[in-house]
Amino acid sequence: MELFSPVTELAGIGAQRAKQLEKLGVRTLYDLLAYFPRTYEDRTQFVCIRALEPGRPACFEAMVVSEPRTAHVRRGMDITRVQVADETGKLTLTFFNQSYLKDSLRYGESYHFYGVLSDSYANQMANPAFEPAERAGLVTGRILPIYALTAGISNKLLIKCVQHALAACADALPEILPEDVRRRYHLCPVRLAYETVHQPANRELLAEARRRLVFEEFFIFSAGLAVMRGQRSRAAAQPYVCAQMEAFYAALPFSLTGAQQSAIRDILRDLASGAVMNRLVQGDVGSGKTMVAAAAVYCAAKNGHQAAFMAPTEILAEQHAKTLSALLGPLGVEVVLLTGSLGAQAKREAKARLADGRAQLAVGTHALLTADVAFSDLGLVVADEQHRFGVAQRAQLAAKARTPHLLVMSATPIPRTLSLIAYGDLDVSVIAELPPGRQKIDTFLVGDSMRRRINAFIRRECAAGHQAYIVCPAVEDGETDTLKSAAVWAEALQRAVFPELRVGLLHGRMKGHEKEAALAAFARHETDILVATTVVEVGVDVPNATLMVIENAERFGLSQLHQLRGRVGRGSAKSYCVLFSDTKNADTRARLKALCATNDGFAIAEQDLALRGPGDFFGSRQHGLPAFKVANLQMDLATLQQAQQAAAEYIRCADDLDAPGLAPLKQRIEALFEQSDVALN
Ligand code: ADP
Ligand code: MG
C-alpha cells in the first residue's frame, strides 16, 4: 500500500464504504491520515465500581456475573441487561436495541468498560463501551480520538482504518518542514505528529503533535502568501514619475491629515520603485481613504496609465464616481462609471472610452475586471472596502490584469492576528487618525419600551434640519414578523409615525436605478429618513445625517454595527447611534454594550474576534480565507507568528518552489489555496 492508494486497499473497505468515506473528503490513505480527530475523550482513568460517580464517565474492569437477557419492551425497543461485578461492588448494565451484544459479553469473563453511572437509577449504567480485558486498548484505557462521522461510518471503523493506514504508510508521509525550522521551533517529526494526533499516549504529547501540525498548516499558508508576494513584487513595472502632485493637493477642499499624507507617500514610493505595488491602506471609517486612493489614481493618470476603482456595491461605485470626477475631472482625468445597471448605450460608450484610452479612470464594482471590459493601458487597480475582496480575488486579479499596481483599502480595522492571515501578501499603511473636528458618536442600547422617546428624538433631529438612517436586518424567507423588514417598516413609519416627514427606502432587492434614486434623494435632502438594509453599511457618505437607528441590533456583528454607525458623524454636527434590542442573551448584550463604550474601530474589531471567532468575523468563506484543519486563529496566534517568520525566511532563500525537494510543499500550498480558487503560477 502506498500513501496515495485508494482506501479500498484497506481490509474491510469495499466500494460502498469508500463512497461513504468520500463524503468526508477521504479517498486515499493520505486523506485518511490527514482526517484529524474533531476532539478527544480521555478514557485513561480507571476506578473500581464503588468509586464510580453518577454523571462522570470513567473506565473500570469487571467480570460478567449473569447471563445477558434481552427483554422486548415494545415494538422497536428491546433492552439487554447484564450484571457485572468487581471486588467492590455490582452494577447492572443496560443496552438499548443492541441484543447482538449478548454474544460478546460472556458469563465469567472480564472486560474493560467505559461509561457513565446513571444519576436516576442506582447502580445502573446505560450503553457503556467495552472490550475483553485481555485484548483491551482500543476503546478503553486511552485517549480516544473522536472523528466527525457520516452515515455508515462509525468512530470505531475510522479508528481501525487510521490504525491500518498508519501502519502501512506513516513512513511515507513527506516532511514538509525543513529540518532547521523544526529544530529551531522544537517541532516533532511528521510521522510522530500524525501517529500522535490519531493515537495520543498522553495530553502532553498530543499538545506537541498538535502544535507541530498547526505550525505546518500556517507554514504552508504563509509560504504560499510569500510566494505570491514574491512573484508579484519581482514583476517589474515601469517606474512612475511622482513629482507632479501639486495640482492635486491644490485641488483638495481641505488639507490632508498627517496619516493621509504618510499613506500617500508610501504609495508614491511604491509606484516610483520599479516593482509592482501591493499595498493595503487600513483606516477606520471616515479616516479619508478615498482621497488617498485619488492621489494614486492621479499619479497613474499623469504617467499616462489608466486606473480601475472597484467598490463592493453599485451605490458606492456611483458615489465614488461622483466624488472622483468632481475632484479629478478639472485636473484633466476623465472618469467613467461602469456598473451592471447602466443602460446598454451608456455601457457601450464607457467601454469604448476605456478601450481607446480617452477615459483614465473606470469606477465600478468587481465586475470591472470581467473579460469584456478592455483597457488600453491599465496601470492601477484600487479595491475599496477590502474585507469583501480576499486573497483569492487578489490572486485572480494579478493573473488577469498582467500585474498592474494594486491598492486595497479596508474600512474594517482587522485584528492583527487576522490581518496576518488576510493580508499576508500585502504591504500595509495604516491611517490611524481622523480628519479634525470629528466628534464622538454617542451610542445607546435601548429596548422597545423606549420606542416613543426615540421617535420623538428622530423628530427633533429632523426638525433641526438633520437626517436619520433606520437600518433593519435583511429578512430571509420564513423568518417571523418580529423582525422588521425594511419595506414594511418604511411604509408603517411613513403612515403611522412620521406622516409629517419624508421617509425613503433602500434595500438590496431594489433595481440599480431605484437604489441610486433613493440614495440620491437622501443625499439631496429630499428625504429626511432613510429606512434601509445593510446596503448602506459601507462607504455611503451623507454628512447631514446625524442619527443612525438600528433595529434588531442583536442580529449584527460588532464590526458591522461599527460600520453602520460610521454613516453618521461625517459632518460637523453632533451625531448619535441608537441600537434597538430586547435580547436577553447576556453575551449579546455585552457585545452591544461594548459598542456603546467605544468609537475605536480597532478595539471593537478585537472584541468582535474574541466574542464571535474569526469565521463570523469574515462573514463566511467568501473572503478567500483557506479553511484550516487543525489551526485555530484565536488559540494559535503565537504559532502563527512563528510559522509566518519561518516561512518568510525560508521562501526568501528558496526563491521559488520549483526545486525538486519542494514538490510536497508546493502541492500542499496548492491544495490549501485551491479551496479559495487561488492559483500559483
Ligand atoms: P473612508 O473611506 O476612509 O471611510 P472617506 O474617504 O469617505 O472615508 O472620507 C470621509 C469624509 O471625510 C468625506 O466626506 C471626506 O470628504 C472627508 N475628508 C477626507 N479627508 C479629509 C480631511 N483631511 N479633512 C477633512 N475632511 C476630510
Ligand atoms: Mg470609503
Please state the rounded mean pLDDT for residues 3-7. Answer: 90
pLDDT at 304 over 90: yes
Q: How far is the CA of 234 from the centre of ligand 2 (A)?
A: 30
**pLDDT tier at 314 (50, 70, 90 boundaries)?**
confident
* Backbone φ, ψ for residue 644 (5° rounding): -60, -45
**Lowest-confidence segment of 240-249, 384-393, 639-648 by average pLDDT:** 384-393
pLDDT reported for residue 622: 38
pLDDT at 281 over 70: yes
pLDDT at 82 over 90: yes
Q: How far is the CA of 286 from the centre of ligand 2 (A)?
A: 7
Q: How far is the CA of 287 from the centre of ligand 2 (A)?
A: 8
pLDDT reported for residue 653: 67
pLDDT digits (tens, 9 = 90+) for 99-132: 888 889 999 999 999 999 988 888 899 999 999 9
**Lowest-confidence segment of 148-157, 371-380, 426-435, 534-543 by average pLDDT:** 534-543
What's the farthest any 2 CA atoms get from each other in the chain? Answer: 98
With a 6 A CB cut-off, is 259 part of the ligand 1 pocket?
A: no
**pLDDT tier at 396 (50, 70, 90 boundaries)?**
low
247 vs 631, higher pLDDT: 247
pLDDT digits (tens, 9 = 90+) for 490-519: 999 999 999 999 999 998 888 878 888 898
With a 6 A CB cut-off, is 569 part of the ligand 1 pocket?
A: no
Residues whose CB is less than 8 angstroms from the CB of residue 39 and which lie 6 or more positions away in sequence, other chains included = 146
Q: What is the pTM of this model?
A: 0.67
User: CA-to-CA distance for 554 and 550, rounded, in angstroms?
Assistant: 9
pLDDT at 19 over 80: yes
What is the best residue among 254, 282, 292 to mutate for testing ligand 1's pocket, by most ligand atoms within 8 Å of CB? 254
What percent of the chain is modeled with pLDDT above 90?
Answer: 50
Q: How far is the CA of 345 from the centre of ligand 2 (A)?
A: 29
**pLDDT tier at 632 (50, 70, 90 boundaries)?**
confident
User: CA-to-CA distance for 477 and 269, rounded, in angstroms?
Assistant: 50
Q: How far is the CA of 441 from the centre of ligand 2 (A)?
A: 18
What is the best residue among 260, 290, 324, 363 to mutate for testing ligand 1's pocket, by most ligand atoms within 8 Å of CB? 290
564-586 residues labelled b (16+ CB within 10 A) or e (exposed):
bbbbbbbbebebbbbbbbebeee
Strand ranges across the sheet with 442-446: 442-446, 576-580, 545-550, 467-471, 529-532, 503-506
Q: Three-state DSSP class for 108?
A: coil
Q: How far is residue 269 CA from its own chain's centroid? A: 32
Q: Look at ligand 1, atom 26, and give the residue with the nearest C-alpha.
A: 435
pLDDT digits (tens, 9 = 90+) for 634-666: 678 788 889 988 988 887 766 667 777 778 888
With a 6 A CB cut-off, is 283 part of the ligand 1 pocket?
A: yes
What is the best residue among 382, 388, 541 to mutate for testing ligand 1's pocket, by most ligand atoms within 8 Å of CB? 541
With a 6 A CB cut-off, is 434 part of the ligand 1 pocket?
A: no
pLDDT reported for residue 678: 40
With a 6 A CB cut-off, is 386 part of the ligand 1 pocket?
A: no
Please state the rounded mean pLDDT for residues 517-532. Answer: 93
Atom of ligand 1 at shortest distance to CA of 260?
Answer: 23
With a 6 A CB cut-off, is 411 part of the ligand 1 pocket?
A: yes
Please state the rounded mean pLDDT for residues 245-269. Answer: 95
**Highest mean pLDDT: which range of 67-76, 288-297, 590-599:** 288-297
Q: How far is the CA of 257 from the centre of ligand 1 (A)?
A: 10
**Lowest-confidence segment of 44-53, 311-320, 443-452 by average pLDDT:** 311-320
pLDDT reported for residue 108: 94
**pLDDT tier at 372 (50, 70, 90 boundaries)?**
confident
